[in-house]
Chain A
Amino acid sequence: MAITEKTPLELGPGDTARYAERPLGVFTRPQEGRGWRDWLSTVDHKRIGILYGASAMFFFLVGGVEALLIRLQLAAPEGSVLGADVYNQVYTMHGVTMVFLFIMPLAAAFANYFIPLQIGARDVAFPRLNALSYWIWLSGAIFLNTSWIVGGGGADCGWFCYSTNSGVAFSPSHGVDFYAIGLQILGIASLVSSVNLIVTCLNMRAPGMTLMRMPVLTWMLLITQFLLLFALPVITVALFLLMFDRLFDAQFFNPDAGADPLLWQHLFWIFGHPEVYIIILPAFGVVSEIIPTFSRKPLFGYEFMVFSGIAIGFMGWGVWAHHMFVSGMGPISVAAFSLSTMFIAVPTGVKVLNWLATMWGGKLRFTVAMKFAVATVAMFTIGGLSGVTHSVAPADTQQTDTYYIVAHFHYVIFGGGVLGLFAGLYFWWPKVWGHFLNERLGNWNFWIMLVGFNLTFGPMHILGLQGMSRRIDTYARGYGFEFWNMAATVGSLLIAVSVLIFMWNVVKSKRDAPHLPPPGPDPWDARSLEWSIPSPVPTHNFDTVPQVHGRDEWWHSKYAENDEGQVVRVATTEEAAQTGEATGVHLPSPSFWPLAVAVGLPLIGYGLIFNLWLALVGALLTIASLYSWAMEPVDDPDAAHDHHEEHHEAGDAEPDDEGDQP
Chain B
Amino acid sequence: MSAEPLVADHAHDVSDHGHDPHATTTGLSHTKLAMWVFLGSECLLFGGLISTYLLYKTRGNGRTLPTDVFDIPFTSVSSFVLLMSSLTMVLALSAVSRGEDEAGRTWLLATALLGGIFVGGQVYEFTSFVREGVAFTTNPASSAFFTLTGFHGVHVSLGIVMLMSLFVASVKGKLTQRNAETVEIVGLYWHFVDIVWIFIFTVIYLIPAD
| A interface residues, Cβ below 8 angstroms from B | 1-2, 4-8, 10-11, 13, 116, 120-123, 125-126, 191, 194-196, 198-199, 202-206, 209, 229-234, 236-238, 240-241, 244, 248-252, 254, 256-260, 263, 267, 270, 542-545, 584-588, 630, 643, 645-646, 648-649, 652, 655-656
Contact = CB atoms under 8 A, between A and B. Distances in A.
Interface string B14-46: 111100011011101011011101101110110
A259 B140 contact: yes
Contacts of B49: 237
Given A10-B21, A237-B48, A259-B59, A588 B10 contact: yes
A642 B158 CA distance: 28
B61 A122 contact: no
Shortest 5 CB-CB contacts between residues of A and residues of B: A237-B48, A233-B45, A121-B11, A7-B8, A258-B59
A652 B4 contact: yes
A128 B165 CA distance: 21
Given A7-B10, A7-B22, A233-B45, A251 B137 contact: yes
A586 B21 CA distance: 13
B13 interface: yes
18 contacts: A2-B31, A2-B182, A5-B30, A10-B14, A11-B14, A122-B10, A126-B7, A202-B26, A203-B33, A204-B11, A230-B41, A233-B44, A544-B13, A584-B14, A586-B14, A646-B174, A648-B179, A652-B8
A310 to B, nearest CB: 16
A203 B138 contact: no
Contact of A195 (B8, B14, B34, B140): B34
A545 B30 contact: no
A648 B55 contact: no
B24 to A, nearest CB: 4
B140 A254 contact: yes
Given A7-B6, A257-B61, A645-B179, A655 B21 contact: yes
B78 interface: no
A597 to B, nearest CB: 16
A611 B158 CA distance: 25
Nearest to B182: A4
A385 B169 CA distance: 59
Given A258-B59, A258-B60, A250 B35 contact: no
Given A233-B44, A237-B48, A126 B178 contact: no
A202 B25 CA distance: 7
Given A1-B161, A2-B35, A237-B48, 16 more contacts: A2-B162, A2-B185, A4-B182, A7-B8, A121-B9, A122-B10, A126-B34, A202-B26, A232-B41, A233-B44, A236-B48, A240-B147, A248-B136, A250-B136, A646-B174, A655-B21
B142 interface: yes
A656 B25 CA distance: 22
A585 B13 CA distance: 7
B122 interface: no
B41 A267 contact: no
Given A195-B41, A241-B147, A250 B137 contact: yes
Contact of B139 (A1, A244, A257, A630): A257
B5 to A, nearest CB: 8
Interface of B: 4, 6-17, 21-22, 24-26, 28, 30-31, 33-35, 37-38, 40-42, 44-45, 47-49, 52, 55-56, 59-61, 136-140, 142-144, 147, 158, 161-162, 165, 169, 174-175, 178-179, 182, 185-186, 189
A656 B14 CA distance: 8
Contacts of A122: 10-11
A4 B14 contact: no
B7 A4 contact: yes
B30 A126 contact: yes
Contacts of B34: 125-126, 195-196, 199
Contacts of A258: 59-61, 139-140
Contacts of A116: 11
Nearest to B178: A649
A195 B33 CA distance: 9
B37 A198 contact: yes
Contacts of B12: 545
Contacts of B17: 656
B90 to A, nearest CB: 17
Contacts of B147: 240-241, 244, 250
Contacts of A238: 48
Contacts of B24: 203-204
A209 B182 CA distance: 28
Contacts of A250: 136-137, 143, 147
Contact of B15 (A13, A206, A248, A249): A13
Contacts of A11: 14
Given A122-B10, A236-B45, A259-B140, A202 B33 contact: yes
A2 B26 contact: no
A49 to B, nearest CB: 17
B25 A203 contact: yes
A536 to B, nearest CB: 19
A6 B10 CA distance: 11
Given A195-B34, A196-B34, A205-B25, A120 B56 contact: no
A125 B44 contact: no
A341 B157 CA distance: 41
Contact of A204 (B13, B25, B55): B25
Given A240-B147, A258-B61, A191 B33 contact: no
Given A125-B30, A234-B48, A249-B137, A263 B55 contact: yes
B16 A545 contact: yes
Contacts of A251: 61, 137-140, 142-143
Given A252-B140, A260-B55, A230 B40 contact: yes
Contacts of A194: 37, 41
A643 B174 contact: yes
A203 B30 contact: yes
A612 B37 CA distance: 33
Contacts of B31: 2, 4-5
A655 B16 CA distance: 12
A233 to B, nearest CB: 4
Contacts of A652: 4, 8, 22, 178
A206 B34 CA distance: 19
A1 B158 contact: yes
B72 to A, nearest CB: 25
Nearest to A11: B14
A9 to B, nearest CB: 8
Contact of A1 (B21, B60, B162, B174): B162
Nearest to A267: B48
Given A233-B41, A251-B138, A258-B60, A2 B25 contact: no
B58 to A, nearest CB: 9
Contacts of A203: 9, 24-26, 28, 30, 33
Most buried by B among A231, A257, A648: A257
Contacts of A120: 11
Nearest to B189: A2
B161 to A, nearest CB: 7
Nearest to A240: B147
A617 B136 CA distance: 25
